Amino acid sequence: MRSTPPGEIPRPTPPEPVLQVRGLIKRYGTKTAVDGLDLTARAGVTAVLGPNGAGKTTTVETCEGYRRPDAGTVRVLGLDPVREAAALRPRIGVMLQSGGVYSGARADEMLRHMAKLHAHPLDVDALIERLGLGSCGRTTYRRLSGGQQQRLALAMAVVGRPELVFLDEPTAGLDPQARRSTWELVRELRADGVSVVLTTHAMDEAEQLADDVAIIDAGRVVAQGSPEELCRGGAENTLRFTGRSGLDLASLLKALPTDTAAVELAPGSYRLTGTVDPQLLATVTSWCAQHGVMPDQLSVERHTLEDVFLELTGKELRA
Ligand code: ATP
């Protein structure tokens, strides 16, 4: 172990990743679904985004131990999900899209049964209420609506109070209220120290919930970072303002970073593009003040994850 020299404040070691995937390759016959994918997820909420067919589900199912990698390594909570499945299973929660459930069983029975398999489960009744399943506890699985089945799958994944939970498109097809309560539950899990890896097509979901976002395209991670980092580092942002016409833009640009572009779109209507950060905003307003210009209707258009995704892959997230 490295000792800290006298007087030096020890640097906190970053927590072990909850998920570490290196060079993952997974083929179905001649189709390469995952093509040398590297992904690290740390404590908190990691969203895996990508268009249809990008390889999200294959990657997650490999991490859950349901599929064997053709090449590469996968470690979940430090364990190999296939060889060390017996040790790993009690520590993770998995939200299955369908299947794995006896369709004649009652919702509350299934949840209670699942809870009994774990040492420190969540309170089943509270969870049923939390997810708005109170009215359908005694209903058999096959008679639940699609949205209710989905919320039950979520409840089954989290009832054992796992250290890490995998949620595959947890809110797809849910009504806005159910979507909100699912988001609330994910936030509560996170606050409770549970790590979450969630796959989604929904940008707003990733922006609302995720500490970290991995964008997957064609079987690889093409970008990873916090939503803010991805938006900052991706597409250019835009600043607009109006003022008197014919401003000396060459003089303004001299005061700005070289990657900034400026144009007078219409008399007195200006648009700047580039890395629009607080420093740039301050420089523009100060230049305006020096030149007796009142920058009216000043606005900043920040790019969304969707813009970043489009720029990186040329594809819409919803294929
Ligand atoms: P979606 O958002 O549509 O769920 P995804 O990103 O989860 O997509 P995967 O389901 O992992 O993507 O699929 C990746 C690729 O592998 C796709 O081209 C898909 O058709 C293919 N694929 C997935 N499962 C199988 C399978 N069991 N047999 C053959 N091909 C498969």
Report residue 221's pLDDT band, with 50, 70 and 90 as the boundaries.
Answer: very high
76/39 Cα distance (integer angstroms)? 11
In 96-249 the beta strands, taken as DSSP E runs, fall at 164-168, 195-200, 212-217, 220-225, 237-242
Provide the sign of the torsion angle of the four alpha carbons 84, 210, 305, 17, taken in this order. negative
More confident residue, 91 or 107: 91
Give the per-residue pLDDT at 316. 60
Does residue 219 line the site of ligand 1, with CB under 6 A?
no
d(CA 83, CA 70): 14
Q: What percent of the chain shows pLDDT beyond 90?
A: 50
**Does residue 312 have a pLDDT over 90?**
no
- Give the mean model confidence (pLDDT) for residues 196-210: 90
In the chain, % of residues over pLDDT 70 = 90
Domain ranges of the chain: 19-231, 236-302
Report the Cα–Cα distance between both ends of the chain, in Å, rounded.
50
The answer to whether 41 and 221 are in contact (CB under 8 A) is no
> What is the identity of the amino acid at 313?
T
- Of all protein residues, the one whose alpha carbon is nearest to atom 1 of ligand 1 is 52
53 lines ligand 1 (CB under 6 A): yes
- Euclidean distance between CA atoms 227 and 204, whole angstroms: 10
Tell me the mean pLDDT in the region 38-43.
Answer: 95
Q: Which of 39, 57, 203 to mutate to test the pocket of ligand 1 (most atoms within 8 A of CB)?
A: 57
Phi, psi (degrees; rounded to nearest 5) at 282: -65, -40
Q: Is the CB of 31 under 6 A from ligand 1?
A: yes
Alpha carbon of 126 to ligand 1 centroid (Å):
36
Tell me which residue of 102, 111, 15, 32 sits closest to 69, measured CA to CA: 32
Mean pLDDT of the chain: 87
C-alpha of residue 33 to centroid of ligand 1, in Å: 6
120 close to ligand 1 (CB < 6 Angstrom): no
Mutate to test the pocket of ligand 1, among 52, 96, 221 (most ligand atoms within 8 A of CB): 52
Tokens (6 digits) for 294 = 């009142």
Largest CA distance in the chain: 76
Locate 212 and state its tokens.
């970290």
DSSP characters for 146-177? HHHHHHHHHHHHHTT--SEEEEESTTTT--HH
Q: Tell me the per-residue pLDDT of 50-78, one tens digit each, with 9 for 90 and over.
A: 888 899 999 999 999 999 999 999 999 99
Class of the CATH-defined domain 236-302 = alpha beta
Q: Is the CB of 32 under 6 A from ligand 1?
A: no
Specify the CATH number of the domain 19-231: 3.40.50.300
Q: What is the pTM of this model?
A: 0.78
More confident residue, 25 or 5: 25
Secondary structure E strands in 44-189: 45-49, 71-76, 92-95, 164-168
Residue nearest to atom 27 of ligand 1 (CA): 28
The residue whose CA has the least distance to atom 10 of ligand 1 is 57
Per-residue tokens: 37 = 């994918």
Residue 57 CB–ligand 1 contact under 6 Å: yes
* Sequence-distant (≥ 6) Cβ neighbours of residue 5 within 8 angstroms: none
| Antiparallel, parallel or unpaired: β 296-301 and 71-76 | unpaired
Beta-sheet pairing, 19-28 with 71-76: antiparallel
- The model's confidence at residue 2, banded by pLDDT at 50, 70 and 90, is very low
**Ligand 1 atom with minimal separation from the 216 CA:** 6
Q: What is the SS3 assignment for 87?
A: helix
Q: What is the pLDDT of residue 234?
A: 52
Q: For 3-12, how does the pLDDT look when each residue is reduced to its tens digit (9 = 90+)?
A: 555 666 665 5
Q: How confident is the model over 109-155, as pLDDT tens digits?
A: 888 988 998 888 889 998 888 888 888 777 888 888 888 888 888 89
Atom 26 in ligand 1: which residue has the minimum CA distance?
A: 28
Q: Identify the CA nearest to 199 among candidates 86, 16, 62, 4.
A: 62
DSSP state of 97: S
Q: Are 186 and 198 in contact (CB under 8 A)?
A: yes
**Separation between Cα atoms, residue 46 and residue 176, nearest integer Å:** 22
pLDDT on residue 1: 44
Rounded alpha-carbon distances, angstroms, from residue 203 to 207, 261, 304, 318: 6, 28, 8, 10
User: 221-246 burial, b if ≥16 CB within 10 A, otherwise e?
Assistant: bebbbebeebbbebbbbbbbbbbeee
